[in-house]
Amino acid sequence: MVRTIIGRVLSSLLVIAGSSVLVFVIMYLLPGDPVDSLIDPASATPEQIATLRHQLGVDQPLYAQLADYFGKLLRGDFGKSLLNSEPVLPKIIEHFPATLALAAASALLSVIVGVLLGVLSAIHRNRPIDVIARIVGLLGISMPTFWSGILLLLVFSIHLGWLPAMGSDGWKTLVLPAATLGLIGGGFIVRMVRNSMLEVVNEHFIVTLRSKGLSERAIMYRHALRNALIPSVTMIGMLVGEMLAGAVVIETVFSRQGIGRIVADAIMAKDLPVVQGVIVFSAIVYVLVNLLVDISYSYIDPRVRRAA
């Protein structure tokens, strides 16, 4: 077990390094350069621009920048924003909680709704409830996030005035974004749980359970559900990815704080250190979560535990 974990951690580090290099290169290839957003090329003289570029070090060749960046990174220095020489790491740490809250809330929402509907629709296959659940599930993954977000916003904060339209302070501001994002996650989970439930119900041991005289309720909720849910644990890892991605859009729609918005802005502004920082950071988070998921998985699922 320990052995496997060590292995995973090592490869994870590799992965993280890899992703940051990748992003670095992509960002390096972005046309134009950060200076444009600092200074008005129409009025600035070439000299001004040149000096500025030099100060920012963006006139160095790729390998030089790369080396420099990783040198710093190893020392835990994520660098400073090109726009306002703000250190990146504190910036991320400042904004991450908001994103985390959003991700957590929506994950929770999607898990609760998803599992509930998934199970119901599997048990009542082809009954009305099943139809509803499946449609909800499909809608969840079929609507453009920003659209559903704005719709919710119009209804609940502008027309009904129940919830705040924007901000990231207090649970109230969390409701709408989480709901929007949860819709996606929920969609995935409904479908997944439904499918794995239907598979489990075909397993042989279900017959055994019936032959023991257990009630259908006991069979479904005590045995089938548990078997069906174990695989969905792995979904959590995937979900985190989804949520981080979703945050990019949602945080803009509901003008919440968060790393999603930072990185979106940074990409547009070619603020390389920030983009880098966020991606490396979210990569770490992603890898960490998945590592935890895998480990916990091997505890939840006796089969895996034995294999490990």
Site for other proteins in 261-280 (CB under 8 A): 261-265, 267-270, 275, 279
CA-to-CA distance for 276 and 28, rounded, in angstroms? 11
Residue 80 dihedral angles phi and psi, to the nearest 5°? -120, 150
CA-to-CA distance for 222 and 216, rounded, in angstroms? 10
Give the dihedral sign, CA 292/297/299/300: positive
179 or 283: CB nearest other proteins: 283
111 or 286: CB nearest other proteins: 286
Number of residues this chain uses to bind other proteins (CB under 8 A): 121
CB of residue 259 vs other proteins: minimum separation in angstroms? Answer: 10
Q: Which of 69, 78, 96, 254 binds other proteins (CB under 8 A)?
A: 254
Does residue 11 bind other proteins (CB under 8 A)? yes
Write the CB contacts of 228 (distance below 8 Å, at least 6 apart in sequence).
Answer: 119, 122, 193, 196, 197, 199, 200
Segment contacting other proteins (CB under 8 A): 64-72, 110-118, 141-149, 291-299? 141-149
Does residue 214 bind other proteins (CB under 8 A)? yes
CA-to-CA distance for 183 and 52, rounded, in angstroms? 45
CA-to-CA distance for 142 and 162, rounded, in angstroms? 26
Q: Looking at residues 16 to 35 of the shown chain, list those that interact with other proteins (rule: CB under 8 A).
A: 16, 18-19, 22-23, 26-27, 29-32, 35
Segment contacting other proteins (CB under 8 A): 60-68, 110-118, 248-256, 291-299? 248-256
b/e code 30-51 from CB counts within 10 Å (16+ = b) = eeebbbeebeeeeeeeeeebee
Does residue 65 bind other proteins (CB under 8 A)? no
CA-to-CA distance for 140 and 194, rounded, in angstroms? 15
b/e code 100-129 from CB counts within 10 Å (16+ = b) = bbbbebbbebbbebbbebbbbbbbeeeeee
Q: Looking at residues 98 to 117 of the shown chain, list those that interact with other proteins (rule: CB under 8 A).
A: none
Q: Looking at residues 168 to 187 of the shown chain, list those that interact with other proteins (rule: CB under 8 A).
A: 168-169
Does residue 165 bind other proteins (CB under 8 A)? yes
CA-to-CA distance for 140 and 239, rounded, in angstroms? 14
Please tell me whether residue 42 adopts helix, strand or coil conformation.
coil
Does residue 91 bind other proteins (CB under 8 A)? yes
Does residue 9 bind other proteins (CB under 8 A)? no
Does residue 70 bind other proteins (CB under 8 A)? no
Q: Which of 70, 77, 89, 227 binds other proteins (CB under 8 A)?
A: 227
b/e code 245-272 from CB counts within 10 Å (16+ = b) = ebbbbbbbbbebbbbbbbbbebbebbbb
Does residue 50 bind other proteins (CB under 8 A)? no
CB of residue 136 vs other proteins: minimum separation in angstroms? Answer: 11
Does residue 217 bind other proteins (CB under 8 A)? no
Q: Which of 182, 253, 293, 298 binds other proteins (CB under 8 A)?
A: 253
Does residue 62 bind other proteins (CB under 8 A)? no
Segment contacting other proteins (CB under 8 A): 63-71, 103-111, 112-120, 164-172? 164-172
CA-to-CA distance for 99 and 89, rounded, in angstroms? 15
